[in-house]
Amino acid sequence: MDNHTSVFLLLELSKIWEKQFMYAALFLILYLMTVIGNILIIIAVIFDHHLHIPMYFFVMNLAIQDIGSVSVIVPKAVFNSHRNIRHISYLGCVAQVLLFVFFLSSEMGLLTVMAYDRYVAICNPLQYEMIMNKKACCIMAGGVWIASFLNASLHTIETFTTAFCSNIINQFYCEIPHLLNIACSGSYITEIGVVVFNAILSAGCFVFTVVTYVKIFSAVLRIPSVQGRKKVFSTCLPHLIVFSIFLFTGSFAYLRPTSNRPSHLDFIITIMYSIIPPMLNQFIYSMRNKELKATLSKFLWSFFFDQMVNCVSTFSSKLMGKGKR
């Protein structure tokens, strides 16, 4: 294959048009839920000065990451299903790999940083403002984004410097394991090393997060207030569960041997780490928070009230114009 002029063929979700439409509709619903919810979170954090604290700063970064990760892969899958096509250009595939790995890596980093933020807030509350100051938060978030981009660039270079012996990708987007599966024999050893190295780093982040939450739970159990313990557990446990699902399904997808044929298991695992976590994050980290819910309610009520006032005023002005005539 000529890597600079080739066109890849993505997975056909179904040969039956009705099922293909159903898959496209499901993808679109999940996508809209993720994007709309996270946009509302970003707007709330930006415009409410009460939310200008480290926790919501990281929540906003995570919301941006969630929008980016699903936007890289889902719209193309919906478009292909709607148009009943499978094509993606070589440059489009490169862009998908670069951007998706970038957002995937940033999610891992942001979830780890957010766990540390909760640890400092609960275990060292008196030193929280000094440790998690504005400069420190910007350095942490900036470090995550920069490291993620460098990691994504390394993955993309190592993946696309290989020679491909086929152009059929058995996945609904350009996923690295399936690209390596169609690479010519012996030309992808370096990329496998990069994947394994990233798996080790991810495991390190997970261990750090688990140890952090063990310390948080130990500190919470000493809180005399039952309501306080319940609040912390209800926030931290879902965080740990979604982080675990994201890590283990992602690691399983990237480390296990891929099949030469389309697999329902591959498809489900990919959905579990690429689409489900971004959709759930907004509920776990944001919608369960009373302050953010209050801000969102106020914002939505203000928006709809303004729209209603504008509609009434427009209608009234039209009636007055007719009356003068």
When pLDDT is cut at 50, 70 and 90, the band that residue 3 belongs to is very low
The CB-based long-range contact list for 79-83 (8 Å cut-off, 24+ gap) reads 80/10, 80/172, 81/13, 81/20, 81/21, 81/23, 81/24, 81/27, 82/21, 82/24
The residue assigned the tokens 């780093």 is: 201
Tokens coding 282: 């907004």
Residue 2, pLDDT above cutoff 50: no
Helix (H) or strand (E) holding 84: none
Phi-psi region of 84 (alpha: psi -120 to 50; beta: other; left: phi over 0): left
Tokens coding 197: 């190295």
Give, in order, the Cα–Cα distances in Å from 129 to each of 135, 214, 231.
11, 22, 21
Provide the pLDDT for residue 44: 84
Provide the pLDDT for residue 31: 94
In the predicted model, what is the mean pLDDT of residues 265-272? 87
SS3 assignment, position 8: strand
Average pLDDT, whole number, for the chain? 82
Provide the pLDDT for residue 149: 95
The answer to whether the CB of 220 falls within 8 A of the CB of 88 is no
Residue 292, pLDDT above cutoff 80: no
Provide the pLDDT for residue 144: 95
User: Residue 322 carries which side chain, given as an amino acid letter?
Assistant: K
Q: How far apart are CA 98 and CA 188, in angstroms?
A: 17
Highest mean pLDDT among 155-159, 184-188, 289-293: 155-159
> 189-232: per-residue pLDDT in tens?
777 778 788 888 888 888 998 899 888 888 887 777 776 677 66
Give, in order, the Cα–Cα distances in Å from 302 to each of 37, 113, 296, 298.
17, 33, 10, 6
Provide the pLDDT for residue 314: 60
The answer to whether the CB of 192 falls within 8 A of the CB of 110 is no
Provide the pLDDT for residue 180: 85
Cα–Cα nearest to 223, from 236, 211, 239: 236
The residue assigned the tokens 């003068």 is: 324
> 111-162: per-residue pLDDT in tens?
999 999 989 988 888 899 899 999 999 999 999 999 999 999 998 998 888 8
Cα 139 off chain centre by: 21
Of the two residues 193 and 188, the one the predictor is more confident about is: 193
Provide the pLDDT for residue 188: 63
Tokens coding 2: 């000529």
Q: How far apart are CA 163 and CA 223, in angstroms?
A: 59
The CATH T-level fold of domain 7-289 is Rhopdopsin 7-helix transmembrane proteins (1.20.1070)
> 36-57: per-residue pLDDT in tens?
989 988 988 888 888 888 988 9
Lowest mean pLDDT among 134-138, 164-168, 250-254: 250-254
